[in-house]
């Protein structure tokens, strides 16, 4: 294949924004029963009516105090990702994790506009559950691609000021930035920046905790740094860095010490 043919092929491949950005599957990786967690599987419609699947993991302690909405990463589906936060159910947290369109048993095919609307639908849903359940704090936890999705969804969310904490774990602002870092500037321009957050991030008025490994082999540490620096200085923000090689596994490194640090961090939020 000549260079011109390669460019045409890559253009068609990258502009589809499916194979690189979204990598869903329908395989069942793990189940809450394995962790002795009471859970509920349910569906809600996205903004265009697409049916989206979700799990709610219920706190193992009576009178749960906080509720977390989890935006997971770009591969697999919620049955793989829920294990990152299932441990929170031991400490008075309910956790809601959902699949974007095309992931797991959610209907449709992923695309930037649709996935952004999926995130907004679950922000609205979880907010209603937060109010109805009299929880103390509403936390939005995002990981990898989930961070970029949530940043855009939050622009259209009417109750941003009631979010106690936004967590940006191993994430980035836009897929184009990832393509630029992994390939080169020419190829990155072939990735659409539609439905990514305004880089000024003025809508981030809630406290923000960024987390990134310096040895992240999927999303470069510099992308996490750049995103954190873009968050307005007027926003309460912190950045946790660790050095173990991995991606999105902060709660499994260094004898799981970050679990207690996270619980303490949330407890001290006003």
Structural domain boundaries, residue 105: 3-267
> Which residues, 6+ apart, have CB-to-CB distance to 118 below 8 Å?
46, 47, 50, 52, 98, 100, 101, 106, 149, 153
Q: What percent of the chain has pLDDT over 90?
A: 81
DSSP annotation of 123? H
Distance of alpha carbon 6 from alpha carbon 33, whole angstroms: 48
pLDDT recorded at residue 160:
97
Q: Is pLDDT of 154 > 70?
A: yes
Q: How many domains does the chain have?
A: 1
Residue 185 has pLDDT above 80, yes or no: no
| pLDDT at residue 194, rounded to an integer | 79
39, 119, 176, 220 from 191: Cα distances, Å: 37, 21, 5, 18
- Does 9 have pLDDT greater than 50? no
Which pLDDT belongs to residue 108?
97
Stronger pLDDT, 182 or 27, i.e. the higher one: 27
* Tokens (6 digits) for 30: 């793990």
**What pLDDT is recorded for position 16?**
45
| CATH code of residue 171 | 3.40.50.1820
Contact present, 73 and 145 (Cβ < 8 Å) = yes
Angle (CA) 146-149-154 rounded to 5° is 115
Locate 53 and state its tokens.
């699947």
Strand partners, 97: 55, 70
Averaged confidence pLDDT in the chain: 91
pLDDT given at position 190: 62
- pLDDT over 80 at 193, yes or no: no
Whole-angstrom distance, CA of residue 161 vs CA of residue 203: 9
pLDDT band at 110 (very low <50, low <70, confident <90, very high): very high
Range of lowest pLDDT (17-31, 161-175, 182-196, 248-262): 182-196
Write the pLDDT tens digit of every residue in 49-63: 999 999 999 999 999
pLDDT for 20: 67
- Rounded CA-CA distance 268/198 in Å is 29
Q: Which pLDDT tens digit goes with each residue over 115-126?
A: 999 999 999 999
For the segment 195-234, what is each residue's pLDDT rounded down to a tens digit? 899 999 999 999 999 999 999 999 999 999 999 999 999 9
3-state helix, strand, coil in the chain (%, to 5): 40, 20, 40
3-state secondary structure of 259: helix
The single-letter DSSP state of residue 7 is H
| pLDDT over 80 (residue 238) | yes
Please tell me the number of Cα atoms within 13 Å of 142 on its side-chain side.
Answer: 26
What digits encode the pLDDT tens for the residues 26-37?
999 999 999 999
Q: In percent, how much of the chain has pLDDT > 70?
A: 89
Number of H helices, E strands in the chain: 8, 10
> Tell me: the pLDDT tens digits for 85-98?
999 999 999 999 99
41 touches 52 (CB < 8 A)? no
CB-based burial, 177-203: b 16+ in 10 Å, e otherwise:
bbbbeeeeeebbebbbeebbbeeebeb
Mean pLDDT within 138-152: 98
pLDDT at 8 over 50: no
């Amino acid at each position: 294949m000549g260079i011109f043919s390669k460019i045409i092929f890559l253009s068609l491949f990258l502009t589809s924004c499916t194979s690189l950005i979204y990598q869903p599957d329908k395989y069942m990786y793990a189940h809450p029963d394995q962790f002795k967690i009471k859970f509920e599987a349910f569906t809600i419609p996205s903004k265009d009516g697409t049916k989206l699947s979700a799990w709610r993991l219920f706190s193992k302690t009576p009178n749960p105090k906080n509720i977390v909405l989890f935006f997971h990463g770009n591969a697999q589906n919620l049955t793989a990702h829920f294990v990152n936060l299932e441990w929170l159910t031991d400490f008075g947290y309910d956790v809601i994790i959902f699949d974007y369109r095309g992931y797991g048993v959610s209907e449709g095919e992923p695309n930037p506009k649709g996935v952004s609307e999926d995130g907004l639908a679950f922000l609205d849903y979880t907010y209603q559950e937060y109010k109805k359940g009299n929880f103390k704090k509403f936390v939005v936890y995002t990981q990898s691609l989930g961070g970029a999705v949530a940043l855009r969804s939050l622009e259209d969310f009417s109750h941003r000021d009631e979010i106690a904490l936004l967590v940006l774990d191993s994430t980035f602002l836009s897929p184009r930035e990832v393509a630029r870092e992994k390939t080169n500037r020419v190829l990155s321009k072939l990735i659409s920046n539609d439905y990514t957050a305004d880089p000024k991030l003025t809508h981030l008025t809630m406290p923000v905790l960024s987390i990134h490994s310096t040895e992240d082999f999927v999303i470069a540490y510099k992308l996490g740094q750049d995103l954190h620096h873009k968050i307005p200085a007027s926003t309460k923000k912190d950045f946790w860095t660790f050095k173990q090689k991995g991606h999105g596994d902060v709660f499994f490194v260094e004898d799981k010490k970050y679990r207690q640090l996270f619980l303490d961090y949330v407890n001290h939020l006003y």
